Amino acid sequence: MSNVWLPCGDYHQNYSDDQGWWQSRFIKGKMILLLAVVFVAIPVLAPDYWVGVATMVGYTAMGALGVQLLIGYAGLLTLGHAAFIAVGAYTSTLLVLQFPWPHVFLNWGLAYPLSILAGGLAAGLWSVLFGLPCVKVKGFYLILTTMAAQFITVDFVLTQYVSQIGGRGQAFSLPPGTIKIGPWVVDNDFEVYYLMAILLTLMVIVLANLLRSKVGRAWVAIRDNDIAAGALGINIVWYKLLAFFVAGFMAGVAGAFWVSNTAALSPEHFPWFWSLWLVGVILIGGVGSIQGAIFGSIFMVVIMELLQIAVLPLSDYFPKLLMDFAYIKDMAFGLAICGFLIYEPNGLAYRWWQAKNYFNLWPFSY
């Protein structure tokens, strides 16, 4: 058997083969190419604007990964993920601005990286708090409890209390040079992009590893049938809350990253619409797939930007097109979700899987 290509067809003989990452040299090469595109080709070849768009794709994907874990892998419906992103963003910002870091931490650029971790932890624990009702409720009722997370967290706790810390009013602003990782000061679009690429890669690796472990199998079992999973000896409460913690942690990291992109923060950065948007992302990308969260993010951000650029030349003749573009965008968002639910309910990830299968089975792909 060649170690470059896998044999045609269903070739795995055991679980560890099936779940192995580097199954052939071709797959290794493919992943190296992907990393080269992400870390070299995009920042070197793409204009500033598209690097900014790629950063937005990454930020969306970071949030969507947590939603994917909850909805797609653990079967826990959520509509309040923006709240956990907000908790991460505020924790990180307040730690950077307010915490009396020892000089050595500031000089060595440790404050921001530690604040990312703290943001993740705070958001994870906060997410567990709002995940507690999942012990008793599921489905639509769980959606309502997660929506409560949005309103209690952003509109009440962050707005009324957390924003008052330091007496800055609602808008926090980070002075230039504050976002520093070791000697690396993150202060332009390219550096923000690299930070996003590193964090997103780490998040994908961690989540992919979790999903092929005992924990991931427990989540999937709970998603498919929680009563049966319980009968098999899986501690349902523990694994559901663990899913909330991990999803919240990732949201917190996404929030802490967001601060590096804007150097400013207010509760308006985390509207409820963003929670809804993230669910739309995984519906379009494909529920129950890590690639789905990323494909969905690319689709939702890049397609909308392309649509906008396509509308630009027409604006001279139809000025209302630009004025109403937000409506057009919302309409496109709604249409895309309807279209995918009707014509491709498994999302873009399924198409990707089909394309891969076609080549894996080639020349007997019929």
- Contacts within 8 Å (CB) and 24+ apart, 185-189: 185/109, 186/112, 186/260, 189/48, 189/51, 189/52, 189/55
191 binds another protein (CB under 8 A): no
- Lookup: tokens for 122: 């705070």
- How distant, in Å, are the alpha carbons of 8, 17, 228, 291, 316 from that of 288? 25, 21, 19, 9, 43
Minimum separation from the CB atom of position 126 to another protein (A)? 18
Cβ-contact 98, 75 below 8 angstroms:
no
167 binds another protein (CB under 8 A): yes
How many binding residues for another protein (CB under 8 A)? Answer: 54
49 binds another protein (CB under 8 A): yes
Among 37, 232, 309, 331, interactor with another protein by CB under 8 A: 309
- How distant, in Å, are the alpha carbons of 92, 110, 225, 305 from that of 118? 7, 12, 34, 33
Amino acid at 82: A
Among 43, 305, 332, 352, interactor with another protein by CB under 8 A: 305
Among 2, 313, 317, 366, interactor with another protein by CB under 8 A: 313
Among 180, 223, 240, 269, interactor with another protein by CB under 8 A: 269
CA–CA separation, 74 and 67 (whole Å): 10
Phi and psi at 13, nearest 5°, equal -110, -15
| Residue list 285-304, contact with another protein (CB under 8 A) | 301
Identify the CA nearest to 69 among candidates 201, 220, 226.
220
Among 24, 308, 346, 360, interactor with another protein by CB under 8 A: 308
276 binds another protein (CB under 8 A): no
Options 13-21, 185-193, 195-203, 240-248: segment touching another protein (CB under 8 A) = 185-193
Options 135-143, 194-202, 247-255, 266-274: segment touching another protein (CB under 8 A) = 266-274
272 binds another protein (CB under 8 A): no
CA–CA separation, 346 and 237 (whole Å): 28
**Residue numbers at the binding site for another protein (CB under 8 A):** 47-49, 52-53, 56, 59, 154-155, 158-160, 163, 167, 169-171, 173-174, 176, 187-189, 261-269, 271, 273-274, 301, 305-315, 319, 322-327
